[in-house]
A and B are shown apart, each in its own frame.
Chain A
Amino acid sequence: MQSYLDFEKPVADLEGKIAELKSLASTDQAVSIEEEVNRLSARAEEALADIYKKLTPWQKTQVARHPQRPHFSDYVKSLITEWVPLAGDRKFGEDAALLAGFGRFEGQSVAILGQEKGSNTEERLRHNFGMARPEGYRKAVRLMDMADRFNIPVVAFVDTAGAYPGIGAEERGQAEAIARSTEKCLELGVPNLAIIIGEGGSGGAIAIATANRVLMMENAIYSVISPEAGASILWRDAAKAQDAANNMKITASDLLGFGVIDGIISEPVGGAHRHHDQVMDATRRAIGKFLSDYSGKSRLELREQRREKFLSIGTNLA
């Protein structure tokens, strides 16, 4: 069942009418509804295109968090064959918020990591809503180390509100785990790609998003703090999340302008949650292009390109 965001109301109304007509027609064969349905469908499509053409940052935030938006596991299912998930940081535990493993992308060996938010209540709890603990980041480090040794490219799907703020996480060194994961990204002698598929939340995101190429889905957001938390600190009012989102420059096009990301993967009209297949095709092309662009580069070249790219961020802004 399609669920609508509040700003999609005009579309919801039209699609509601269509559904009503269809149910009417199924009970009364005498009524011809085809023409009316076509007319309404066209109008709904138009309305959707109109709305999505001018989404505000706050609306994008809602799209980025849409429960039906493709998550880590959807990407893996569609794009990776022979998926072998690995578990555990070999130090303390396993963290299902950040998944990692090896598989093949169009036949080629790849290492995959990323946060999984889960798509129903049970899954969300199991994956801790995609908020990783130190074990998740240490597992990421372990996996990147392996990928580096076996000379296998790394692809990270980033989707998290942030690293988990809890007693145990602090006790076991959340800050250190994030710092080491970022550091490992910058040491890799193999190509790495990060794709922000939903939310890129602060340190919890950067820990795996420090990559040779960083891409964002068109309606994804990437920020130093969630709009809600930012609002409660800067405006002293969590209800100002909308203002915070609009001020903080968190959309893909803003970040491309700052040189923080290297490219945008277009989403179908109406957002990624409406047409998973199209999103997967676009992502497949982006990963394929990345792998071919970066194949044949030396370990040193790859490392230096990544390091220099990050060092230069922000230095050329007016």
Chain B
Amino acid sequence: MNWINNVVRPKIRSFLKQRDDSAENLWVKCPESGEMVFYRDLEANQWVVPNSGYHMKIKSADRLASFFDDGSYETVALPEVPVDPLKFRDQKRYVDRLRDSRTKTGMDDAVMVTKGRLYGRPVTVGVQDFDFMGGSLGMAAGSAVITGLETAERDKTPFVLFVASGGARMQEGILSLMQMPRTTVAVLRLREAGLPFIVVFTNPTTGGVTASYAMLGDVHLAEPGALICFAGPRVIEQTIREKLPKGFQRSEYLYEHGMVDMVVHRHNLRATIGSLTGILTKAEPAPELASQPPVARISMRAAAVAAEGDDDLVTAPPEAAHAE
């Protein structure tokens, strides 16, 4: 029966899965409260579960569409990078993994860079997508982050970066590690040009990404309940051999420990970043923002973020990287 389980079943499964997608998965289960939500309601609510407030993963395109004025933006071309210089192979060849991820997601790699307007003012925005090999940081993603920072510097705009990552892309070995200093150079140059760099932590952000550009923003915002860490919970548990405290390494915990400035509900990100970038660049006030009451921008989510069992949801899939 083994070969049937191993060979045939995955094929059938993937076949069924494709069918599922095209037939539309009408109901989505909230990973926190377990309630079933109609997917159109979720979509309309920027993938925040209406009752529990749980922030689900949102596709890059959806995020950008709800962030920019009128949902319109331009995609910035990214530099070509060498493919698989290590000729890496684990259980699978890296080039095959890359090809599969590209087919599955329609993206070239984990980071895309865009420009558009936010409350009428030009802004450069990067998004790191966890769906592409766990948002792992390889040469392509590193170069994309650099392109984003350099585009902002050249266009004299603020740079907003939504981060999500399982860490370094191990299949690129040391060249993945080198993205930490490389991106840091670009962060420094944007800073020296006097332009703001706003980082938005989304679930999850770990490893080498947290330990480089993500922690070097002028302002750090975080979506509620996001896992943000250097070493992942599992690595720590294995090292110290004890259970971790509830809420450990979540956005609210990092806020308490002084690592992020605000925990912001996804619905309030646009206005918060609009105000921040406007104030820091001394732009004319935007009327919509000036007339807005100081919303609960620091929306600390009351719900226990460390609901038991949600650890699996935020852990990188096996092909995703992880750094120490």
Contact = CB atoms under 8 A, between A and B. Distances in A.
Contact of B85 (A173, A203, A258): A258
Interface in B201-241: 207-208, 210-216, 229-231, 235-236, 239-240
A225 B229 contact: no
Interface in A170-207: 170-176, 178-180, 182-183, 185-187, 201-204, 206-207
Query: Which of B168, B171, B175, B245 counts the most A-chain CB atoms under 10 A from its CB?
Result: B175
Contacts of A226: 324
B321 to A, nearest CB: 8
Contact of A186 (B174, B184, B236, B323): B184
A234 B91 contact: yes
B148 to A, nearest CB: 14
B324 A260 contact: no
Given A170-B248, A222-B174, A310-B182, A176 B82 contact: no
Size range of the chain B interface in the assembly: 35 or more
A182 B180 contact: yes
Given A165-B236, A182-B180, A258 B82 contact: no
Interface stretch (A11-19, A93-101, A245-253, A265-273): A245-253
Given A171-B257, A179-B211, A249-B86, A203 B188 contact: no
B291 to A, nearest CB: 36
A178 B211 contact: yes
A223 B174 contact: yes
B98 to A, nearest CB: 14
Contacts of A178: 211-212, 230
Nearest to B233: A170
B231 A165 contact: yes
Contact of B177 (A172, A174, A206, A247): A206
Interface string A11-40: 000000000000000000000000000000
Interface of A: 161-163, 165-167, 169-176, 178-180, 182-183, 185-187, 201-204, 206-207, 210, 222-226, 229-230, 233-236, 243-244, 247-250, 255, 258, 260, 307, 310-311, 313-315, 317-318
Given A179-B212, A206-B181, 6 more contacts: A202-B168, A206-B177, A229-B324, A234-B90, A314-B182, A317-B85
Interface of B: 81-82, 85-86, 88-91, 139, 146, 168, 170-178, 180-182, 184-189, 207-208, 210-216, 229-231, 235-236, 239-240, 244-245, 248-249, 257-259, 318, 321-324
7 contacts: A174-B231, A186-B188, A202-B324, A206-B181, A225-B170, A234-B171, A249-B86
